[in-house]
Chain A
């Protein structure tokens, strides 16, 4: 089964996610000059960062770029007071972005996706940087050293919270041999692009599915049903093929996913029945021994269908209920402690990865080992409950201040949008 992995599946996204920069530059030196160079993405925790990373991963995979360099330009200097905390905060941001990029590359159907490396660095921590020219100098040096020829900017990118820097940065970059591009992503008012591209593959897949559904309910041998079925399937696929599928069906991948999904269903059913019996006992118990808490868990699956599968599996498994999915953070309500512990063991996450990416990708540390879990309520709480809508995001703001990366988002503490990356670690 592992041999027929989809292109991204074998990448082993976690083991070799962060590659040494040296190694990456070696790889670039050997490629001929006509091949596209690596892409540099300056990273700051903004509300559009998630979509920017998705865009970069997609284009890099499509163009066959050898590597994506996610760089954080330091707004501190090593040795300064507080520089350690800020470096650690930057490190956390980079870690999260790496997880996103590898998940997106796993999802991508472009043939080159498996060859794209994801590299992270902190730049300029040994110097004080003033203004756009300094940033560009640092970026250009890094690009030259690593064979990169393209910079993709996050539209909300503002190093050091300087809101006017993006334009000068673009201007200064245009004086270098690097090509510059602002990622075409929407601002946080729209979560992500709802409509995707219309392709023949999607059209055909949707047409086939709706025709099959129609004929299943009707009579496939009766000519009238066949004709009306074709007509209605055509209407459905013309109007909805841009909305309902977010990736092209690909030959070895889609059937493999379906087969592995069929393996998953009985396992899931068994889990559901087993856990349902236990929960039934809890509910029918006259003392009602429940101990509900809200929890947060960061999961490593791609967005779209894999995330939906995982969230729905979690909800179907008794004792746990997905309340909210923010990027790769799932907010899960658990009814009893054992359900929470089972959730943190991450078997559902591994199964989802197995279904979508193959057996090899399913081996990864549990969320508890990765330290990607948090309990938000009760006696064991490790983090505050981010109910932001009730108070205009005040809790978000407070937590930032406490976490000492206050520089990044006085602005979007109030927006609590889907792509808000301000849910801090731990």
Chain B
């Protein structure tokens, strides 16, 4: 029996709790979407999307733990890499001189 199946309270297991937590992170990510839409500058949007991406990584990892799917962690790893690259690439190409990093 893995840790996920350990009962927490009132018949709910740790897995259930983790699913709820993942939902909480998703709600926070939606809140962040407001900044990504409103802006006002390009950098604000990139920043919001970057934070959103970090949240997505955490959601993926938590889902992987809660559902007992270790492969989710590999996807999270790739997502984190892409998220970082996205932030760097967009900041580089929004600056005219291209002098970031």
Q: Choose one: B74, B95, B96, B99; the contact of A217 (CB below 8 Å).
A: B74
A327 CB–B CB distance under 8 Å: no
Give the Cβ gap from A318 to chain B, nearest Cβ, in Å: 15
Q: Is the interface of B mostly helix, strand, loop or mixed?
A: loop
Taking CB atoms, residues of chain B closer than 8 Å to A418 are 99
Most-contacted residue by chain A among B74, B77, B95, B99 (CB, 10 A): B99
Taking CB atoms, residues of chain B closer than 8 Å to A191 are 99
Residues of B in contact (CB 8 Å), total 6
A389 CB–B CB distance under 8 Å: yes
Q: Are B74 and A389 in contact (CB under 8 A)?
A: no
Chain A, residues 1-15, CB within 8 Å of chain B (1/0): the string is 000000000000000
Give the Cβ gap from A217 to chain B, nearest Cβ, in Å: 7
Taking CB atoms, residues of chain B closer than 8 Å to A217 are 74, 77
CB contacts under 8 Å to A, within B63-98, are: 74, 77, 95-97
Give the Cβ gap from B78 to chain A, nearest Cβ, in Å: 11
Residue of A nearest to B74 (CB): A217
Residue of A nearest to B77 (CB): A217
Taking CB atoms, residues of chain A closer than 8 Å to B96 are 389
A418 to B97, CA, bound (A): 12
Residue of B nearest to A417 (CB): B99
A418 to B100, CA, bound (A): 10
Chain A, residues 362-396, CB within 8 Å of chain B (1/0): the string is 00000000000000000000000000010000000
Give the Cβ gap from A338 to chain B, nearest Cβ, in Å: 24
Most-contacted residue by chain A among B74, B96, B97 (CB, 10 A): B97
A260 to B32, CA, bound (A): 38
A217 to B95, CA, bound (A): 36
Taking CB atoms, residues of chain A closer than 8 Å to B74 are 217
Give the Cβ gap from A302 to chain B, nearest Cβ, in Å: 18
Taking CB atoms, residues of chain A closer than 8 Å to B97 are 389
A3 to B95, CA, bound (A): 47
Query: Which A residues lie at the B interface, using CB under 8 A?
Result: 191, 217, 389, 418
A-B contact pairs, 7 of them (CB 8 A): A191-B99, A217-B74, A217-B77, A389-B95, A389-B96, A389-B97, A418-B99
